[in-house]
Chain A
Amino acid sequence: MSVVTTTGPAAPALKSHVSVLETIRQSWLMAGRALQKMRRNPEQFFDVLIQPLLFTPMFGYIFGGAIAGGTSKYLPLLVPGLLAQTALTTCMGTGVTLREDMEKGVFDRFRSLPMSRVAPLAGPALADVVRYVVATVMTLAVGIAMGYRPDPFGLVLATLLIVFTAWSLAWVFTALATVMKSAQGLQGVSMMIMFPLTFLSNAFVPASSLPGWLEAFVNVNPVSHVVTALRDLMNEGQVTGQVGWAVLACLAVVAIFMPLAVKGYRRQV
């Protein structure tokens, strides 16, 4: 039995805020916790492994003929779109998992500890990069198996871009997770955000095939920019201005939703 000596509080030693360095360190710790849980429950990888296996052939063979006049002609259009869709579904999961986690008692402990208010949110998002990478690699692998031949250099950059996009968009769902009261509710709202974002974009069909008013929305949708950037990278092997726009759009999402997420988490009832 060790002896713990309780020292009186030394007022000057108390810190008023968490430093940036501590915040980063604590975010890593929280990411480590999330990874530990992933290792213990590999079922969490089910969706990112199966969804690409299912969706890529399904979309490719069903819509290929109708939209592009053949599966192999459709793949350069489809695979970048599917990458975006998979990323969105996966980062929606980040929010739902966080919401479930926040209902557990351990979040009471995190709240009562003198620790960063961002770390418990940033940690899971960071750990989920593993899931985003798996989802992306799976989608690309299935696409290539079906006959897609992307530019190798563009492929690497595209992977980086889509993982960054997923991480950025995850902050939207993280912010929602801090204000929604149930995982089911969050799932419902997330679906309503995800579907318009993916389907009202150029992910699966050329924007020019749409009525004018819809085309206007599709053109401002950040997902469209990301998809176009991915196509430019993988199909043309070129880093175009679209890549810049996509990165900017993602940064804007983080700049808006990260503070909102922290505000939601900080808010005491």
Chain B
Amino acid sequence: MTLAVHATGLVKQFKDLRAVDGIDLQVHQGEVYGVLGPNGAGKTTMLRMLATLLRIDEGEAQVFGVDVRREPHQVRQLIGVTGQYASVDEKLTARENLRLFARIYGQSSKQADRTADDLLERFGLTDAATRTLEKFSGGMRRRLDLASSLIAQPPLIFLDEPTTGLDPRTRGQMWDTIRDLVAQGSTILLTTQYLDEADQLADRIAVIDRGRKVAEGTSGELKASVGSSTLSVQLSDPVDMDAAARSVAQALGRTANRTPESARLTVPLNRPDEAAEALIALRRNDISVAAVQVEQPTLDEVFLALTGEHVSDRAEGEADDDHDTRAADERLDPMEVTR
């Protein structure tokens, strides 16, 4: 079967910044492929190259076997793109936006009406259909943006950070919507900064950093490479610290880390079940607990494990992809074309 996306050695150079530095990508039909990485890793740049929005400086890319560089117009018939910044018209209403895009795809006025109404209903936007987008919330904009990408029912959908900046509830709704799409057989390539998002949605995940792919696998494989989650216990009475550390060490067979200032005890877990075992040991010894948390490995820990570097230690100058793109834009000679 033809790969939905097949890219080899993709490179994007912005003046002195190599935003994408030789990435290979193989996305199978029907799968959700997650591209995980911090701001400035090159996720958006890579996606924009595959979506014909940026020139591919080096390397090859095919979408369902169609060459992205040579046949951009054909590729555009196979993809739907939902950007990080909603690519819909602010001054038009939700329905007008959908109708316009549907008409551009060649639908008749009547067909476009039907398409718009279907999508509005499907994305829970019927009540807001006649409002201009200026009055839309961030979540509603994203939903409309996604709806716009589905008008022609493209076999491949690019989602660029679909939930960045959304509140947790809206984020959950967006995840449900994406899962629906998957259930209907769409192939999805999504970028995200959130490990849990990739974990929730993606069949396979590529971790990219500074324009390079540093790891690839299922979320399980990735997590195994990162290590386990951590149990963090806050004691009601700091006096119990020694006794608590002893009980946990006995129960799990490994030493707990102490933070006496906050009466906190942390211990790495091999399995989630171990959290219960540690807590039962505390209960048996009559040690009272004020707060308990099981912490999942964060993106920072993934990066620490894969690159030996904290994301937060990065130089401040590395803005997100989009800014890089725009900055490079501005450096171009404005009169180039009239020359």
Contact = CB atoms under 8 A, between A and B. Distances in A.
Interface of A: 1-9, 11, 14-18, 22, 26, 29, 32-33, 36-37, 40-41, 104-115, 175-176, 178-181, 185, 260, 263-264, 267-269
Given A105-B88, A109-B148, 15 more contacts: A4-B150, A6-B154, A6-B185, A11-B64, A14-B74, A14-B78, A15-B77, A109-B88, A112-B51, A114-B77, A175-B338, A181-B332, A181-B334, A260-B338, A267-B336
A29 B104 contact: yes
B295 interface: no
B22 interface: no
B337 A267 contact: yes
A5 to B, nearest CB: 7
Interface in B180-225: 184-186
B73 A33 contact: no
29 contacts: A2-B121, A3-B184, A4-B150, A6-B185, A8-B155, A9-B78, A11-B64, A14-B74, A15-B77, A16-B71, A22-B106, A26-B104, A29-B104, A33-B89, A33-B100, A40-B91, A41-B91, A104-B90, A105-B88, A108-B53, A109-B83, A109-B87, A111-B52, A112-B87, A113-B105, A114-B77, A181-B332, A267-B336, A268-B54
A176 B332 CA distance: 14
B179 interface: no
A113 B76 contact: yes
Contacts of A18: 73
Contact of A29 (B103, B132, B184): B103
A36 B92 contact: yes
B153 A4 contact: yes
B282 interface: no
B122 interface: yes
Contacts of B167: none
Interface in B76-105: 76-79, 81, 83, 85-92, 96, 100-101, 103-105
B155 A9 contact: yes
B20 to A, nearest CB: 13
A109 B150 CA distance: 12
Pick the 5 closest A-B CB pairs, nearest first.
A268-B55, A109-B87, A114-B76, A105-B87, A108-B87
B328 interface: yes
B332 to A, nearest CB: 7
B153 A6 contact: yes
Contacts of A22: 106
A12 B86 CA distance: 32
Range of interface residues on B (Cβ < 8 Å):
35 or more
B302 to A, nearest CB: 29
Contacts of B76: 112-115
Contacts of B96: 36
Interface of B: 29, 51-55, 64-66, 71, 73-74, 76-79, 81, 83, 85-92, 96, 100-101, 103-106, 118, 121-122, 132, 148, 150, 153-155, 184-186, 325, 328-330, 332, 334-338
Interface of B is mostly: loop
Contact of B330 (A5, A15, A114, A181): A181
Nearest to A1: B122
Given A105-B86, A113-B76, A179-B337, A269 B91 contact: no
A185 B332 CA distance: 14
A95 to B, nearest CB: 13
B184 A4 contact: yes
Given A3-B184, A14-B74, A29 B100 contact: yes
Contact of B122 (A2, A33, A185): A2
Given A36-B92, A263-B337, A112 B52 contact: yes
B83 A269 contact: no
A179 B53 CA distance: 16
Contacts of A104: 89-90
A40 B90 CA distance: 12
A63 B71 CA distance: 59
Nearest to B123: A1
A7 B64 CA distance: 13
Given A40-B91, A109-B81, A114-B73, A2 B336 contact: no
A235 to B, nearest CB: 36
B184 A105 contact: no
Contacts of A7: 153, 155
Contacts of B336: 179, 267
Given A106-B87, A113-B105, A269-B329, A16 B53 contact: no
